[in-house]
Amino acid sequence: MNLRATAALCVALSLCALLVVPGNFPGLSGQARLTLAVFVLATCAWIGTPVDDTYIALGAGLALTVTGVISSDTLFGTLGDSTVWLLICAFVLAAAVARTGLAGRAAAFLVGGARTVRQLVHLTTAALVVTAFAVPATSGRAALALPVFLALAKALADRRRLVVMLALLFPTVILLSAVATLIGAGAHLITVSVLWQETGERIGFTQWLLLGLPLAVASSHLAAELVLLTTTRRADRRGAVHITAEQIQEHSKSPVTGPWTPSETRCALLLGTVVLLWCSEPLHRVSPAVVALIGAVVASSPALGTVRLKDALKTVPWSLLLFMAATMAMGVALADSGAARWVVGGLPAEVTPLAFLTVVVVVSTAAHLVLQSRSARSSVLVPLVVAAAVGAGVNPVAAALASTAAAGFCHTLPASAKPVTLFADIPGTPTYTPRDLLRLSAVLAPLTAALVLIFAVAVWPLLGVPVAR
C-alpha cells in the first residue's frame, strides 16, 4: 500500500471513529452520522485507492440504503432522472455524428483557413468549443479530435515546437470549454441534480448555455494564448502555416471535401434541429431530455438514421451513468439527513459573498490535485457548497456554478484528466512533458480561477443569477 493510500485510510478511520462515539458532536443525528461516515470513506477511497470510482460510489449508495438513510426507491430512482436520459441520448446522437464524418469536414473548413500560427491556434480553439454541442463528455471529444490533431501534426512535422503546442492546446481547450453546455461533462448533471434536490431550483439547457458559453469562449481563447506563449518562441510564431484538406483527409475515413452525402445532410439537419430545440426550451417547454430522446430515435431509425441503435448504445459510458446515479443518491442523503448543513454550520456567519465565492473557486480549482475524477469532485464539493451558500446568504446557484466551472481546471499532471492523458502519449508524434504541464498550470490556474470569479460576481448577475440570495 502506497503512502497516499495509507494516509487516506488513516484519515477515514480516524474521522469515522470520532463519528461513532455518541458523545461527540451532540447536534448530529444518527442518520447524519452514518451519512458522514459513508461520505468520508467514499471520498478517501476515491483519493487514495486505485479502486474504480463507480464501484466506490455504488458501494456508498448501497451502504446508505441498507442502513436506512435513503430508501431503495431513492437509490434506483436516480437512474431514471431526466439528466441521465439526456446524457444517454446525447451519446447516441454523438455516435451518429461520428459515423458520418462531419467532424472532418468541419476541421478542414475551419483549420484550412489559417495562414498564421495564431490564426491556427484560435480557429482550432473555436472548432473545439463547438464540439461541446455535438459530443458529450470531455473524453469523447478528445477521441473525436485526435485524428484532426494527427493530421495537423503531420502537416507541421518539420516544426516540432508547434506540434507540441497543439498537443497541449487540444486537451486544454476541451477541458475548459466543457462548461459551455449542460452535456459537456457528467459533473454538470450532478450539479443540476444537487441544486434541484437541495434548493428546488432547476437549471435547464438554455440557462446553462447562457451562463456557460461566454465563460467557455473567454477561458478557452485565454488558455489558447497562454499555451501559445508558454510552449513556443517568437521565431516559431512568425512562420506562415498552410494546412490543406488533403492533409486532413489522410486521417479521415470519410470525405472532408466535395458534395455532402445524404447521410451527412440528414445528420447535420438533425443535430442542428436538436440544438435549436434545446436552446429554445423556454418557448416550447419541452424537456431537453425528451428532445434528446426524439433526436436519438431519429438518428438510429432504419429509414433516416446513420447508426444502428445497438452500435450507438455501445458508446454510452454506462459506468459514468451508474456513478452519477449513485452520487446523486449520496447527495440526497447528505441533504435529507442534515449532514451537509451540520458540516457547514461551523463556518463564519459574517462572510461577504465575494470572500465566500473566492474560497469556493480556489478550493474547486485545486481539488483536481486530490480527486482526479471531475464527477467525483462535484459529488464531494457541490452538496457542501450549496449548503454553505444557503447559510452564508449567497445564491446557491451562483456558488454551485462557480464551483463546477472552477473544477474544470485539471491540467497540472498527465493523470489529472483523461484528455490530458490521451494527448500526453501518442506514438510517433512529439507531445508535451510533465514539465510543460506544470509551466502552463502555474499561469493558467490563477487566471482561470480569476476569470470564473469575475463571471460569478460581474457577468452572471447581469444574466439573472445574482450573487446574494
* Pairwise CA distance, residues 223 & 19, whole Å: 44
Integer angstrom CA distances of residue 328 from 81, 108, 182, 261, 380: 10, 41, 16, 42, 11
What is the grid cell recorded at 135? 459530443
- As given in the structure block, the three cell numbers for residue 458 are 460581474
pLDDT bin (cut points 50, 70, 90) of residue 239 is confident
Distance CA 198, CA 467 (A): 18
pLDDT at 287 over 60: yes
Residue 420 and residue 169: Cα distance in Å, rounded?
10
In terms of Cα–Cα distance, which of 435, 429, 444 is closest to 413? 435
29-34 long-range contacts, Cβ below 8 Å, gap at least 24? 29/337, 29/338, 31/67, 31/68, 31/69, 31/337, 31/338, 31/339, 32/337, 32/338, 32/339, 32/342, 34/64, 34/67, 34/69, 34/337
Which H, E and C letters describe 334-375, residue by residue?
A: HHHCCHHHHHHCCCCCCCCHHHHHHHHHHHHHHHHHCCCCHH
What is the structure's pLDDT at 24? Answer: 65
252 vs 256: CA distance, rounded Å:
8
* C-alpha–C-alpha distance, residues 129 and 110, integer Å: 12
- For residue range 383-419, what is the model confidence (pLDDT) as tens digits? 888 888 887 788 999 999 999 999 888 887 777 778 8
The three-point CA angle 252-256-257 to 5° equals 150
For residue 147, pLDDT over 80 is answered with no
Question: Which of 136, 177, 132, 190 lies closest to 376, judged by CA?
Answer: 190
> What's the predicted TM-score (pTM) here?
0.84
Q: Which residue has the higher pLDDT, 262 or 461?
A: 461
Higher per-residue pLDDT: 242 or 227: 227
CA distance 176 to 184: 10
Domain range summary for the chain, segments of one domain joined by +: 1-51
| 315-358 pLDDT tens trace | 888 888 888 888 888 888 887 887 777 777 666 667 788 888 99
Average pLDDT, the chain: 82
Q: Grid coordinates in use for 243?
A: 494546412
Q: Please give the share of the chain, as a percent, with pLDDT higher than 90.
A: 13
Q: Which residue type occupies 99?
A: R
Q: Is the pLDDT of residue 459 over 90?
A: yes
What interhelical angle do 102-111 and 262-279 show, nearest 10?
Answer: 80
* Residue 390 grid coordinates: 444557503
Contact between 459 and 217 under an 8 Å Cβ cutoff? The reply is no
Q: 374: exposed, middle or buried (C-beta count within 10 Å: 0-12, 13-18, 19+)?
A: buried
Tens-place pLDDT, residues 8-20? 667 666 666 666 6
Question: Is residue 224 predicted with pLDDT exceeding 80?
Answer: yes
Average pLDDT for residues 24-51, to the nearest whole number? 79
pLDDT beyond 80 at 213: yes
In angstroms, the Cα distances linking 365 to 86, 347, 370, 397 are 27, 20, 11, 18
- Give the alpha-carbon dihedral of 399, 400, 401, 404, to 10 degrees: 120
> In the predicted model, what is the mean pLDDT of residues 167-188?
88
Residues 361-368 have a mean pLDDT of: 87
